[in-house]
Amino acid sequence: MVEFFFELITCFGTFWTLGITSEMRAWQNGRGGHLQRALILQSSSASVRVAPYENLLSHTRFLLTLRSQEGKYHSLILFRLSTGDDTQLPNVSQRSDLHSYQQLYAMESACPHLGADMSHAEIEECEDSVVVVCPWHRYDFDLRTGESETGLRACTYTVKVEPHEKDGVYKVWVEAPDNSGWQLVELRPVSEAFADLPPAVANSIPESVPSVPIKLSEDLVPSNGAPCTLMEWAVLILNTSDPMLKVERTKHAVHLFRTGQITSIGHKSKRAPQPPAIPPRDDNYTRNIVDPRKLGKRKNAAVMLHALANIEQWAWDIMVRFGPSHPEIPSAFFSDFSRMALDESKHFSLLVSRLSEISPSTPYGSLPVHAGLWESAATTANSLRARLAIIHLVHEARGLDVNPGTIERFRRSGDLESVKVLQVIHHDEVTHVTSGHRWFTWICQQQGVDPVKTFREEVRRGWRGEIKGPFNVDAREIAGMTRDFYEDLRGDMDTVSNHGASETLKDVNARSAGYQSSAPSLHVGYEK
């Protein structure tokens, strides 16, 4: 059963037009609804403001992504230990209630042993300490000191709760890694379920949400040759032609990875599996592939949702295609892109479910689709730097520009349920571009090159034509894409080439016959 996932979106509706809007400031100051993430501009030399304490009552764990003035990234997990009734704000006049504010802890998001994602780590309360247990190898770390019985030490950060001097609202602050002018660019609840319904929007969702029944064409886990590493799961998922099965396998693989049931990424192995050159597609979908230029104007809601529902696979592909050739890449890379893979499956599920509600006679696969992004996939197949630049910082960044216009079309038509779905997708895609920027700047640092100059060079080599506006400047800046990256930029690619490998467009089109693009979800067919 495809489940709906609505995130904390109640005040995000006007974000794209106004940038750091009054709605965002209201969330930061405690006067508005719950926002999933926002750019927090205020920080002291020693700490970064996270959110009002009451805005953290919806979940017990949050992923915090910080970015320094120099463009460095640092990810933390904020733990809020439950103290009873999580729906009530503590009364600071009562000493017992004040204890609730003291049950906030922050530590680095990756285990210092081998880099396991700590977002789903177990918490154990001892007589005089609280420890978090790594899901991979059971290493334990004191949440206050970071110390471990193994001798390792994790980085922990002091969390403070202080009243605002003007409105008296208690705000949560977290110690900054250093004095590099850190900003919070993502605040995201860690959810145990694929389809979590936060209290902020639960009342607006029907109790019974229609969904598309899932009929898996194969076993979720193959009976023979079951994957043992994240890389093996990635290749299995890429080779899965049934989109519904692809979604379910993605959910299962990410759960195994997060909970320590997969303890090896597998990218350093000499026997690391290879991704398919062209991921297979179910015949029901490939028979309807058409040239993007023949799709015409899309005004019908069902046609629009169908076009947006192309199941994406860039996240799995980038991990398995480039992980083995970059054995030095931090494990956080795989945590970021496995989270992105889960988002991609969530987006597909949301759109297909919504399509089944408004147009049962046109299920996914029954309408024309296009393969317009295969050219970029071929262009960047041999370079991680090029893939990050073209797919994540050009294609997906373009999605940030045009998503709001698509959302507004559905809003004007009165389809507010589709608006909710598209808002969730847009908010997630801001974080996808952020991840693209994070790892693009990382690889530039490893290679000793300037990120802005290098990005512009990659676009000139791997893109054809102008990088089109108008730009959603505010969303791009949240993701790290300042104007100097993309303004007055044009690609000069005459053939699809990549670092010495070149082929004509005719060759690419011939190889991509029958391939349905995993297009970034909201900009397909809507560029002006």
User: Mind giving me the DSSP string for 483-500?
Assistant: HHHHTT-EEE-SSEEETT
Three-state SS string across 253-281, please?
Answer: HHHHHHCCCCCCCCCCCCCCCCCCCCCCC
Q: What is the pTM of this model?
A: 0.77
* The predicted structure's pLDDT at residue 3: 36
| DSSP assignments along 180-234, one per residue | S--EEEEEEE--SSTT---HHHHTTS-SS---PPP--SS-SS-SSS---SHHHHH
* The predicted structure's pLDDT at residue 258: 92
CATH of domain 47-83+97-189: 2.102.10.10
Contact between 128 and 135 under an 8 Å Cβ cutoff? The reply is no
> What whole-number distance in Å separates Cα of residue 177 and Cα of residue 62?
17
Write down how long the chain is.
Answer: 528
Contact between 376 and 519 under an 8 Å Cβ cutoff? The reply is no
Phi, psi of 412 (to 5 degrees): -65, -30
* The predicted structure's pLDDT at residue 277: 85
Domain ranges of the chain: 47-83+97-189, 230-494
Q: Could you tell me which of 254, 206, 215 has the C-alpha nearest to residue 6?
A: 206
Strand-pair partners of 496: 503
Q: Could you tell me which of 374, 352, 379 has the C-alpha nearest to residue 363?
A: 352
Cα Dmax for the chain: 73
* The predicted structure's pLDDT at residue 165: 82
Low-confidence ranges of the chain (pLDDT < 50): 1-44, 92-99, 192-213, 290-293, 295, 298, 495-528
Phi, psi of 148 (to 5 degrees): -130, 150
DSSP code, position 368: -
